[in-house]
Amino acid sequence: MHHTPVNVAAIPVIYKILSMSSDDQLAPLVDTLTQTPHSILKICRAYERHTPNHSRYTDQIGDEIYRLGQKALNITDGSRPSYQHMIDALCKQLGLPAQEGDLADNETALLNIFTSQRLSSITADKQQAAVNKARQAAAEGASSFFGAAEWPPLAASLLQIAFLRLKHNEVTRANKESTEASSTPAPVSNSDALVISNNSGTPVLTLAQISVLDSDVGWRKVSKDDTGISRLNPLLQAVPGVATAVEVGASNYMNVIVPAGTKLVESVNHGGLIGTLRKIGTNEFAGAAKLDIGNLSALATSGAALNIASAVLAQKHLADISEKLSDIKEAIEDVAVFQKNERRSVLTGSIRYFEQIAGSVLSGELADEVVHVIEMHETKLLEVQEHLGIDIRNQTDALKILKDEEWVGQGKYIKALDEKHATLDKLYREMLLCLRARACGWQLLSAFPGREQRKEGRLKDIRASVLALLPQGEAAIALDQLLREKIKTVTSPAERSKILRNENALLNRISTQSAIVFDGLETSGRDISTYDAPLSMDLKIEDGIIVATRMR
């Protein structure tokens, strides 16, 4: 008998999420469905046989949720409503605005408006309890004299599905980031690669000729007195295709890959180094490399491979900090975020100086006078941070004393709430940019030898300042609770939802930008021997010499 393969992508969302969930995660759904007379799960044979092992009959649980959806949405043709359609309909049933086509945003809005505080600020072990209360509140809100009786259990079920999707997506993102960080990016090339390996066959360096179409984007020149990446020059002639390009005087491009520093340290301790030619992206042997004593002098000792890897890592740090400085500079240009005042001048002055010195500092030019100027900018940025902290506290106090009864009609009260929140939003944006600038200054300072206590103290201070802003921090939780208290008197569900959506956007921005700061603090100053991800860099070659580099 022929069985048609199941198209996993075509599996309806709810069945897919249920199949990924544990018995404990499914239990709230089973409780809802077995306690309502509008579901027949309680007399389902699969339930009777397997409860409390709910993961053994997830299809039956999904069937019941979709059946409630059919009834609540008055679908009479027997078709299964989509999960997104049910979420949009639930928003409408509750009087909330649904963002068309934005399922994740609508799910977040539903969870947000019924939980006592923002879900991400609640510890993981207490989130389900908070969602259970939200599900009950949603069920009560969805109940209507004129609406279908299936709405309350459907509302409670959909909020649990939204919560499970949120949790599973977090795990998926974490796994994806981990995989991307630990995988070696293979260059696109039709040529064979030169692979330098130790005696046990473990690669310590891979070089391959590549084609680069956008050759003017992101390249950084290599100075003539460079002692880092230029160590590769003697090896270039052994890479297939390079010698021909040199003979005709053409520019060509290569890609170099070094493994994770932690693996590199281990591999270079296993004896001498040999060169082979291999197919790109595979371990397929393509021939022996023509390496003479002159070629291998670049890697004559185990330390030389680490030095080259360190040079690649330095280029990565330079590319990272340059990108961050450019991002901050673009954000400052937004007049709605930064007014043209002294704060803006301090920030722009710091960023411009950091941009000027980043290349020379990260390439090893470590003049004492540069440290003095970095410290001067740190002092000014600290002053800006202190003033912003005072302004944030003042605006929060002003929000606390705002009262509904002071206004004739809720329209003015809602407008006042929006204005207070918009002011706080602007101040938090400025604070984040200030902290990002301080983090860039610390990254540059960390390139200088010594001053360890100063570096450690500043690192702790920047970390603490960022942590204080996070959604899980006291300030964010206090703001969240204050806003929820202030909107209790707002009668319009749509207006309450809008205020919480704006707050959610602010806290998401804080989370995103804080992660950028933490990433920079985590990776800067690290020795290649402790670096746990592979590095890939493109090289521009002229006359057999590396003249420019670009990180992948």
Of the chain, the end-to-end C-alpha distance in Å amounts to 50
Strand partners for 193:
208, 278
3-class DSSP assignment, residue 75: coil
Which of 531, 506, 388, 519 lies closest to 463 in space, CA to CA?
Answer: 519
Q: CB 163: neighbour CB atoms within 10 A? A: 25
Mark residue 201 as left, alpha or beta (left: phi above 0; alpha: psi -120 to 50; beta: remaining): left
CA dist list (Å): 525 to 227, 449, 459? 19, 10, 11
Distance CA(119)–CA(214), nearest Å, equals 43
Distance CA(430)–CA(480), nearest Å, equals 19
* Own/partner pairs, 544-547, CB within 8 angstroms, 24+ separation: 544/233, 544/236, 544/237, 544/242, 544/246, 545/230, 545/233, 545/236, 546/222, 546/229, 546/230, 546/232, 546/233, 546/236, 547/221, 547/222
Distance CA(448)–CA(358), nearest Å, equals 12
Q: CB 342: neighbour CB atoms within 10 A? A: 12
Are residues 68 and 147 in contact, defined by beta-carbon separation less than 8 angstroms?
no
Supply 474's token pair.
């006291």
Where does 337-367 have alpha helices with state H?
Answer: 342-362
Distance CA(263)–CA(261), nearest Å, equals 5
The answer for residues whose C-beta is within 8 angstroms of residue 245's C-beta and 6 or more apart is 209, 251, 252, 541
Pairing state between β 273-278 and 535-542: unpaired
**CB-based burial, 147-159: b 16+ in 10 Å, e otherwise:** ebebbbbbbbbbb
Full-model pTM: 0.73
What is the full per-residue pLDDT of the chain (552 aa) written as tens digits?
Answer: 444 444 444 789 999 999 999 999 999 999 999 999 999 999 999 999 999 999 999 999 999 999 999 999 999 999 999 999 999 999 999 999 888 878 999 999 999 999 988 888 888 899 999 999 999 999 999 998 678 999 999 999 999 999 999 999 887 776 665 555 544 444 545 566 777 776 666 777 777 777 765 666 777 777 777 666 777 777 776 676 555 544 444 567 888 877 776 566 665 555 555 555 555 555 554 444 444 444 445 454 545 666 677 777 777 777 777 777 777 777 777 645 555 577 888 888 998 899 888 888 877 788 889 999 999 999 999 999 999 999 999 999 999 888 866 555 688 888 889 999 999 988 998 898 899 899 889 988 888 888 889 989 999 999 999 988 888 888 888 889 999 998 888 888 889 999 999 888 888 888 888 888 887 777 665 655 566 677 788 888 887 788 888 877
Mark residue 450 as left, alpha or beta (left: phi above 0; alpha: psi -120 to 50; beta: remaining): left
CA dist list (Å): 524 to 4, 128, 210, 378, 521? 52, 37, 29, 17, 6
Supply 552's token pair.
């992948």
